[in-house]
Amino acid sequence: MITLTDTTETDVAIVGAGLVGLTAAIALAKQGRHVTLIDSHAKPAHTWLPTIQQWDARIYALTEETIAWLTSLGIWQYVDIARVEPIQSMTLREPSQSAPLILKSEDAYLPQMGCILESANLMHACYQMLEAIDIQLTVASPVSIIQHAYFAEIKLDTQENVHAKLIVAADGVQSWVRQTLQIGVTFKSFHQTAIVANFNVEHAHEGDAQQWFLPHETLALLPLPSQMVSMVWALSTERAQAMLGMSEDMFTQEVEAACHQALGQLTLCGETMSFSLNQQTAHSIIAERVVLVGDAAHQVHPMAGQGVNLGFRDVMALTQLTAKLSVLQDVGDFHFLRQYARARKLDVVKMTTLTSGLDALFSTSYPWLQHLTGWGMQQINRTVWLKKQLVQTATL
């Protein structure tokens, strides 16, 4: 029997329609490239419906750079701003409980230090923009990739073929594209699980993002509108399992105790989710006619709230380079891809080292090192120019 297959000729095939893949599709299409966006799942069921009163437990801290970029792509206009909270300050505490390090937006003469919003809110905005520029999501799973000299061929389980000058692998941490092309990864388990949940709080949070660095644990209470906070608690997998098995009251009491009731009484609202925490870096973020972006390329600890921002910066770098090519130039040319790899190297190494270094520092059992950390925080607190630098590094 002969099977008929449809073939789509495209400039860029994007595998994975998470936030990084969606924004890549929008940014490349806005440059006049023909884009084919593929995901094995249809538009996620949790994608925002304005009528839903519940708040998404999955939230993001977005940097000012990310917000400006999403605005320039036309995505930000679709975000429901009533459900976005600007970050006015950050309060960081370490185990010795000496004076916290407080970073304020005004330390760097900024109106805000990024913002907190729900994943579903941003997803919804991306889908609105996709619709506005008439890009359809192809719901299918790739089954093979063949790299030819002038294009790459993706076969889909729907019997369709896609011929693309470039494949953008945005298919997340377990990236099928990366595994199929046998690109290895450096993997580190933090032996931690992150529990995320939203709480109503008794005392106003005043836009303060609070973080406690405990021995081998980090607890963040991030401000949300309506006197709510989003909790991201990274803790040992064993303790996380015990916490997840607790009653709602006991669980809430544990959180109140860990944050020393900084915001008074807490009331859990909505679902509680958990994620195991690892660090993973691909040995190469390019292959013949392929680039890796987002978690497919690198996964970092969420303590710095940088994962999706880092993925967006991959797309920014890629599209800054493609903007320099004419639409007739080959976007999958290997020399071009090497420029992308060079452009991303430093940022990824910096972020991976920072998050894994902070985890190591705060998990230390050496009291002298803990004291040194506390002393360091107090020195930063007293040094105006250093605070300005830190605020700029944390937000831009």
Instruction: Output the smallest distance, CB 156 to ligand FAD, in A.
Output: 9
Return left, alpha or beta for 318; rule: phi > 0 is left, psi -120 to 50 is alpha, else beta: alpha
Out of 256, 275, 288, 389, which residue is the one contacting ligand FAD (CB under 6 A)? 275
Per-residue binding string, ligand FAD, 157-186, x by CB under 6 A, is -------------xxx---x----------
Cβ proximity to ligand FAD, 172 vs 332, nearer residue: 172
Instruction: Output the smallest distance, CB 376 to ligand FAD, in A.
Output: 24
Residue 50: exposure state from Cβ atoms within 10 A (0-12, 13-18, ≥19): exposed
Handedness of CA 197, 202, 207, 210 (dihedral sign): negative
Residue 24 touches ligand FAD, criterion: CB under 6 A: no
Residue 305 touches ligand FAD, criterion: CB under 6 A: yes
161-169 and 290-292 strand pairing: parallel
Contact in structure between 12 and 34 (CB atoms under 8 Å): yes
Out of 196, 287, 303, 317, which residue is the one contacting ligand FAD (CB under 6 A)? 196
From CA 385, how far away is CA 396, in angstroms rounded? Answer: 16
Out of 13, 14, 17, 331, which residue is the one contacting ligand FAD (CB under 6 A)? 17
Instruction: Output the smallest distance, CB 83 to ligand FAD, in A.
Output: 15
Per-residue binding string, ligand FAD, 46-75, x by CB under 6 A, is --------------xx--------------
Give the bridge partners for 75, in sequence order: none
Instruction: Output the smallest distance, CB 329 to ligand FAD, in A.
Output: 26
Cβ proximity to ligand FAD, 162 vs 370, nearer residue: 162
Contact in structure between 248 and 258 (CB atoms under 8 Å): no
From CA 333, how far away is CA 290, in angstroms rounded? Answer: 10
From CA 256, how far away is CA 199, in angstroms rounded? Answer: 11
Residue 309 touches ligand FAD, criterion: CB under 6 A: yes
Per-residue binding string, ligand FAD, 88-117, x by CB under 6 A, is ------------------------------
Cβ proximity to ligand FAD, 355 vs 373, nearer residue: 355
Say how many C-beta atoms besides its own lie within 10 A of residue 322's C-beta: 21
221 to 240, contacts with ligand FAD by CB under 6 A? Answer: 232
Say how many C-beta atoms besides its own lie within 10 A of residue 141's C-beta: 14
How far apart, in Å, are the Cα atoms of 119 and each of 46, 87, 124, 170, 291? 9, 17, 9, 17, 24
Residue 188 touches ligand FAD, criterion: CB under 6 A: no
Return left, alpha or beta for 206; rule: phi > 0 is left, psi -120 to 50 is alpha, else beta: left
Residue 14 touches ligand FAD, criterion: CB under 6 A: no
Residue 12 touches ligand FAD, criterion: CB under 6 A: no
Cβ proximity to ligand FAD, 170 vs 282, nearer residue: 170
Instruction: Output the smallest distance, CB 166 to ligand FAD, in A.
Output: 16
Cβ proximity to ligand FAD, 306 vs 370, nearer residue: 306
Residue 27 touches ligand FAD, criterion: CB under 6 A: no
Per-residue binding string, ligand FAD, 124-163, x by CB under 6 A, is -----------------xx---------------------
Residue 190 touches ligand FAD, criterion: CB under 6 A: no
Instruction: Output the smallest distance, CB 324 to ligand FAD, in A.
Output: 24
Return the range that interacts with ligand FAD (CB under 6 A); candidates 13-21, 317-325, 366-374, 378-386.
Answer: 13-21
* Cα–chain center distance at 53: 24
From CA 240, how far away is CA 232, in angstroms rounded? Answer: 12
Contact in structure between 137 and 43 (CB atoms under 8 Å): yes
Tokens of 68: 């400006």
Give the bridge partners for 141, in sequence order: none
Residue 218 touches ligand FAD, criterion: CB under 6 A: no
Contacts of 360 (CB under 8 A, 6+ apart): none
Contact in structure between 85 and 209 (CB atoms under 8 Å): no
298-299 and 266-282 strand pairing: antiparallel
Q: Tell me phi and psi for residue 21, to 5 degrees.
A: -65, -40
- What residue ranges bind ligand FAD (CB under 6 A)? 15-21, 38-41, 60-61, 141-142, 170-172, 176, 194, 196, 232, 275, 294-295, 302, 305-309, 311
